[in-house]
Structure 1
Amino acid sequence: MSTIEPRITVGVDGSVGSAAAVAWAANLASRRHLELKVVHGLQLAGVYYGGGMLGAGAEALFDAIRADGERAIADACSLVASIDKDLVVTTEQPNEPPVPLLIEESRHARMLIVGRTGAGGFADMLLGGTAATVVAHAHCPIAVVRGRDGATAVPGSGPVVVGVDGSPNSEQALAIAFEEASLRGTPLIALHAWNDVTYEDAFGTARILTPPDTLEDDEERLLGQRLAGWQEKYPDVEVRRVLVRDRPRHALLEASAEAQLVVVGSRGRGGFTGMLLGSTSQALVQHAQCPVLVVRPEPKA
């Protein structure tokens, strides 16, 4: 059984995107009064072949890779200290690739933070391979730190936006979104997008299932029911209800252009049981204009 510790973990690799993730994680840990753990997994692909190291210069290459990791961690710690010198910070650099390291860390952290792209990402890549894989397999809420229009500067103002669809995973996202809005002292936009059209795959046709007015009343009722208890728990949070007839991913992507954080469940009520990441959360971590926090389903007891 995994033990959840009172900490936030951030993965670093020395890239500009990694620095943005560290700054965002440090501010988050400071607001939540949690310890921050900075981790770096050694990129040793190509150094080892079979059971041994490649070539006479492999030891020097290994030392260089380790030194790069140590610099990345040191730079991250300096950045954290400039944000909150009293923040408790721990570090780790195991001989382990980044992806399995971060997934294992997600078993114990309250939240995991990664940058949009890493040191190995191409300039025009929407999401680095490490981030994409970890988002799909993490065991705790995971934030992908993004800026406006692909920039590294992360928005520090604007509302928190949460996608609401009535699923259990959406309820978990609401809990975190209300807490984040309260800690940040910013309004919460509870966005519920619905579509009255269903598409027949076999023929490519569309049909209206229910009269639109009836559907809209039902969806408005659903949104109100989902928010009722949370508004009582967080009376300090100004809640703005947004109900739109649109696909959720499109509506949330538009909202991200003015938000400082978007919170979504990893799978909505339309997701398949075995799907690791739903289409809405996939679209957001790839294209959103602000950090995206993906909330994973709570493990079954």
Structure 2
Amino acid sequence: MSQAPAAQRWVMAGYDGSEQARSAVDWAAREAGSRGCALAVVNVVHWPIPGPRLVPGTDEATQELTARTQAEALLADLADELGESWPELTVRTSVESGRTAETLAGLARQAELLVIGEAGQGGLPRVVLGSTAAEVLHTCERPVVVVRPAGSPDGTGPVVVGVDGSDISSAAVAFACDFADRHRRELVAVHAWTDLPMHAMEPTGGWAEDWQDIRRRGQELLAESLADHARRHPDVVVRRTISLDRPARALLDAADGAALLVVGSHGRGTLGRLLLGSVSHAMIYHAPCPVAVVHATGESRAEPSAR
């Protein structure tokens, strides 16, 4: 895939011919149109392909050529379909060879965001819910959206974002506010007070904490975290939620029927270890909607984070 021109803004999607990957491409196409970007669709042929040869008795070079030819045919058909559905969208396709996660993360450095499906096959094996997904989410510098089949059926649900007051949380809020503004969605900002089980907070089973004070401090944190972004997006309706539940449960509950759930790749305190830990795994495996994972160095180019 040739490097995008400096003036070109684009959204990138991984595609391998699977139903999940096609859902990701459709989501990416809508988002690219909303952002006024081009769409780049990439099929990564991980060579050598594990398992039996595509054509028994042929040499490795012929096998790789066959795999690339098949991938190019998939992309050609996809480009035709996208042209019919989004005639004004600029679409570029490319077949690349290499390790899937490394290749996608490298190409996505020039993109506004990378969109992948929750599972795959062929050239994009198990890109989510497996080791490849963990590597993509951990190494990609740009925001990564994992498209899941559930979510708001009509696409009109709110945008949910986890907030903990950290820099990475600010990047997630910036991404969420920009998305909510462009798609005219309500923004639900969730602050979970603790990641400990409720029964573990007091050995005697009593309640030593001042819950009213906890809620007050949570509201103050949300107000401070959202202030700059609210000024940039005055038309976005914001609903603030303070939860005494664990972050994973609080976010999953809030995301029921949502258009998008946005989380930081890591954080502090209540939303710490949000990626590649128990909370992030819960989001990727069980979130009832698409999930956007935002890194501190991978903020939305549409709105740089307020630090």
TM-score range, shorter chain: 0.7 to 0.9
- 3-state SS, counterpart of residue 27 of structure 1: helix
Confirm or deny: 8 A CA contact 1:116 1:127 kept in the other structure.
Answer: yes
Q: What SS is found at the alignment partner of 1:41?
A: strand
Residue of structure 1 in register with 2:28 after alignment? 25
2: distance between equivalents of 1:46 and 1:22? 23
The C-alpha deviation readout for 1:214-237, integer Å capped at 9, x for no partner, is 222111111112122222221111
The letter for the 2-side match of 1:10 is A
After TM superposition, list the pairs within 5 Å mapping 1:131-280 onto structure 2: 131-148=133-150, 156-195=155-194, 210-270=209-269, 277-280=276-279
What SS is found at the alignment partner of 2:110?
Answer: coil
Q: CA deviation at 1:120?
A: 4.8
Amino acid aligned to 2:41? V
Q: Does the aligned pair in 2 maintain the 1:253–1:288 contact within 8 Å?
A: yes
Output the amino acid matched with 1:69: A
2:109 corresponds in structure 1 to 107
Identity over aligned pairs, percent: 36
Residues of 2 paired with 1:256 and 1:82: CA distance? Answer: 32
Q: What's the secondary structure of 2:216's corresponding residue?
A: helix
Q: Secondary structure at the match of 1:107?
A: helix
What is the rounded CA distance, in whole Å, between the counterparts of 1:281 and 1:259 in structure 2? 17
* Structure 1 stretches of 4+ moved >3 Å: 54-60, 196-201, 204-210, 270-279
Is the 1:109–1:140 Cα contact (8 Å) retained in structure 2? Answer: yes
Distance 1:197 1:94 in 2: 44
Q: Secondary structure at the match of 2:97?
A: coil
Equivalent position amino acid for 2:162 in 1: G
Assess if the C-alpha contact under 8 Å between 1:155 and 1:290 holds in 2: no
SS at match of 1:40: strand
Deviation at residue 87 of structure 1 after TM alignment:
1.1
Q: For 1:298 and 1:176, locate their aligned partners in 2 and report how far apart those are by CA, in whole Å.
A: 12
State TM-score, norm by structure 2. Answer: 0.81
For residues 208 and 4 of structure 1, what CA distance do their matches in structure 2 show? 57
Contact 1:38 1:76 in 2 (8 A): no
Give the match for residue 303 of structure 2: none
Give the 5 Å matches for 1:39-118.
39-46=42-49, 56-118=58-120
Matches of 1:280 and 1:114 in 2, distance apart? Answer: 20
Question: Do the aligned residues in 1 keep the contact of 2:263 with 2:274 (CA within 8 Å)?
Answer: no
Q: 1:197 deviation in Å? A: 5.7
Write the distance in 2 (CA, Å) between the matches of 1:184 and 1:271. 29
| Range with bigger deviation, 79-88 or 7-16 | 79-88
Is contact 2:160–2:176 with CA below 8 Å preserved after alignment?
Answer: yes
Judged with a 3 Å threshold, the aligned counterparts in structure 2 of structure 1 residues 4 and 110 are, in CA distance, closer, same or farther, namely: farther
Instruction: List per-residue Cα deviations over 1:152-183 (Å, max 9, x = no partner).
Output: x9762211111111111010011111110111
The separation in 1 between residues aligned to 2:147 and 2:129, in whole angstroms, is 10
For residues 108-163 of structure 1, give each alpha carbon's deviation from its aligned partner in whole angstroms, at most 9, with x where no partner exists: 21101101001159xx99724433321122111000000129xxx97622111111
The two structures, once aligned, show a CA RMSD in angstroms of 3.4
- The CA deviation string for residues 18-69 of structure 1, in whole angstroms up to 9 with x for no partner, is 1000000000000000111111111322479xxxxx9544344323311221
Map of 1:289 onto structure 2: 288
CA distance in 2, matches of 1:126, 1:280: 16
Query: Is 2:13 the partner of 1:10?
Result: yes
User: Corresponding residue for 1:51?
Assistant: none
Equivalent residues of 1:265, 1:281 under 8 A apart: no
Q: Which structure 2 residue ranges, 5 or more long, are not aligned?
A: 1-5, 299-307
Aligned residue pairs: how many? 286
Change (3 A) 1:90 1:158: same
What amino acid sits opposite 1:242 in the alignment? T
Report deviation, 1:75.
3.1
Shift of 1:83: 3.0
What is the distance in 1 between the residues matched to 2:207 and 2:112?
A: 43
* Structure 1 residues 57 and 255: CA distance shift in structure 2, 3 A: same
Give me the TM-score of the superposition, normalised by structure 1: 0.83
